């Protein structure tokens, strides 16, 4: 009795013929139009998992090539082209860059209003003046809008 292995997955076009050339029998069916998107999504996940699990440079490159081939199949299925994909990729690269600089985004803070920026700058000037013993008897001059405000450091220390 012959041994049978179940796969249940989308394969490259020439895989059934390669299996037959090895003297084995490939049992296949053509995926329906409505099922193809599901099968491509599953194949993308499968190939991505294989990229992540690859341990050598050669293996990683081979798995990345497989992943790109699935992407090309996806592009063809949705009615686009490799050239269109590359045009969009290059446009996004030009606008947003790539991954060469290894940037890791931790968080995004809301932009400060002009008033908040000015207040923060004033607080920094006051903090530096309070921390500097040479400014004990000095005046701090802050630009507030169109006006200059003078503050006595000793008064600020009393408030603190």
Give the pLDDT score at 27: 96
Give the pLDDT score at 59: 98
Percent of the chain with pLDDT over 70: 81
List the one residue out of 65, 67, 69, 75 whose CA is nearest residue 47. Answer: 67
Q: pLDDT for 104-135, tens place per residue?
A: 999 888 887 888 878 888 788 777 767 766 65
The CA distance from 86 to 92, in Å, is: 10
Q: Which residues contact 150 (CB under 8 A, 6 or more apart)?
A: 139, 140, 141, 142
Higher pLDDT, 120 or 48: 48
Give the pLDDT score at 29: 97
Long-range contacts of 32-37 (CB under 8 A, 24+ apart): 36/77, 37/77
Q: Which residues pair with 149 in a beta bridge?
A: 142
Full 3-state SS string of the chain: CCCCCCCCCCCCCCHHHHHHHCCCCCCCCCCCHHHHHHHHHHHHHHHHHHHHHCCCHHHHHHHHHHHHHHHHHHHHHCCCCHHHHHHHHHHHHHHHCCCCCCCCCCCCCCCCCHHHHHHHHHHHHHHHHHHCHHHCCCEEEEEECCEEEEEEHHHHHHHC
Query: Mean pLDDT score of the chain, rounded to an integer?
Result: 87
Higher pLDDT, 157 or 115: 115
Give the pLDDT score at 119: 82
| Residue carrying structure tokens 């003078």 | 150
Give the pLDDT score at 118: 81
**Reported pTM:** 0.66
Give the pLDDT score at 113: 82
Q: Are 83 and 102 in contact (CB under 8 A)?
A: no
Q: Residue 92, Cβ neighbours under 10 Å: how many?
A: 11
Lowest mean pLDDT among 81-85, 115-119, 135-139: 135-139
Mean pLDDT (whole number) for 25-41 = 96
């Amino acid at each position: 009795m012959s041994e049978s292995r179940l796969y249940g997955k989308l394969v490259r076009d020439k895989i059934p013929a390669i299996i037959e050339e090895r003297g084995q029998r490939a049992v296949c069916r053509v995926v329906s139009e409505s099922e193809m998107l599901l099968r491509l999504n599953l194949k993308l996940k499968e190939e991505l998992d294989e990229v992540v699990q690859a341990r050598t440079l050669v293996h990683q490159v081979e798995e990345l090539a497989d992943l790109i081939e699935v992407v090309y199949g996806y592009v063809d299925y949705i009615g686009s082209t490799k050239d269109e994909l590359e045009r969009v990729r290059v446009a996004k690269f030009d606008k947003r860059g790539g991954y060469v600089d290894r940037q890791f985004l931790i968080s995004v803070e809301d932009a400060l209003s002009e008033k908040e920026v000015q207040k923060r700058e004033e607080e920094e000037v006051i903090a530096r003046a309070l921390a500097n013993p040479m400014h004990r008897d000095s005046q701090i001059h802050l630009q507030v809008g169109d006006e200059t405000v003078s503050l006595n450091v000793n008064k600020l220390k009393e408030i603190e």
